[in-house]
Amino acid sequence: MTAQVSSEASHAETLQDEVLAEVRNHIGHLTLNRPAGLNAITLNMVRSLTSQLQAWADDPQVYAVVLRGAGEKAFCAGGDIRSLYDSFKNGDSLHQDFFVEEYALDLAIHHYRKPVLALMDGFVLGGGMGLVQGADLRVVTERSRLAMPEVAIGYFPDVGGSYFLPRIRGELGIYLGVTGVQIRAADALYCGLADWYLESNKLADLDQKLDRLQWQDSPLKDLQGVLAKLAVQQLPDAPLAALRPAIDHFFALPDVPSIVEQLQQVTVADSHEWALTTANLMQTRSPLAMAVTLEMLRRGRRLPLEQCFALELHLDRQWFERGDLIEGVRALIIDKDKAPRWNPPTLHGLSLSHVESFFQHFEQVAN
């Protein structure tokens, strides 16, 4: 059971202790409360968030919602992947239930009837990105580190990644999804993955202003007015802006082996180091995960939001058995030998028909 928090609550109450909920000045504040685990999200947390958001959606005394993570290191570093690994290994259904309910929560945030303000301080990775990319107002700080790093553990960027990544200008989202690299605040704003930049030492000031906010216009405009006094919407010198011509060229190539091969051949001085670093990084990732990710993102470009989530669930239902996730988690999280035995082990072993087989029957499933 999940406790409901009334709109008159004046102090934080716990929902399964891992999610804190409080209403102040007509704003529902939700805090992911696993700071020691970088606020990695569990199925219980998904259910608590879903329940509380639904209650506030139906409460006329709640005008808006603020999402944040406890501690100073992370908003949310993704899903609690260890519990999903254990579920699969034990023959349980937790890993199946988790993705169905997590995706439903993320989709609900995209469609939420009241404005959602996401404070993306610290790490915002994987499942954390799924929680914030449907928010109306996404705030980053100098401590923010955003990524969809799933290919590093043999998975693919889900939680709506097939929708929001390919809609970033040019091929930047393809680059972020296929490589799994982290970006900081300036790049997050440049890519449209965040809306506002606020120094972390002003977060407390933001809270005070929200507590004293005199509601006048629409809730969204009122919140934007508060942010406009503290935050900015652009930062200079976004690294990806300078790299964009190269990224647009290489990540529009037909397949992952072609991308890596051409990156390795770059001799132009101003992009040589980046190209070589990127090629070397990609050679540590799961070849299958990168290839499926590339195909998924290109399909997602043409699909509406709901269909993107359906495509990700279609892939996910096959991935624990047929993909590289279990081996990636073993190598990087369980045994920590950092020597995953990917299948296939190299890009040259990729089969186009094998990659395409993951997408078979999706149209029938979706329709």
Task: Look up 127 and say whether it is catalytic.
Answer: yes
Query: Which of 79, 126, 128, 328 is flagged as catalytic?
Result: 79
| Category of 338 on φ-ψ map: left (φ > 0), alpha (ψ -120 to 50) or beta | left
Joined together, the tokens standing for residue 242 give 């300078």
171 within 8 A of 252, measured Cβ to Cβ: yes
Name residue 357's amino acid. Answer: S
Any alpha helices (H) in 2-158, and if so which ranges?
43-57, 81-89, 94-110, 127-132
Query: Which of 18, 80, 150, 187 is flagged as catalytic?
Result: 150
DSSP symbol at 301: T
Query: Which of 127, 134, 161, 300 is flagged as catalytic?
Result: 127
Query: Which of 18, 102, 121, 158 is flagged as catalytic?
Result: 158
Task: Look up 92 and say whether it is catalytic.
Answer: no
Any alpha helices (H) in the chain, and if so which ranges?
43-57, 81-89, 94-110, 127-132, 161-164, 172-179, 185-191, 203-212, 219-230, 239-250, 256-264, 269-282, 287-300, 305-322, 325-329, 352-357, 362-366
Q: Is the dihedral of CA 206, 38, 329, 261 positive or negative?
A: positive
Task: Look up 79 and say whether it is catalytic.
Answer: yes
221 CB neighbour count, 10 Å cutoff: 10
Query: Is the link from the previous residue into 345 a cis peptide, with omega within 30 of 0?
Result: no
Task: Look up 261 and say whether it is catalytic.
Answer: no
Active site residues: 79, 127, 150, 158
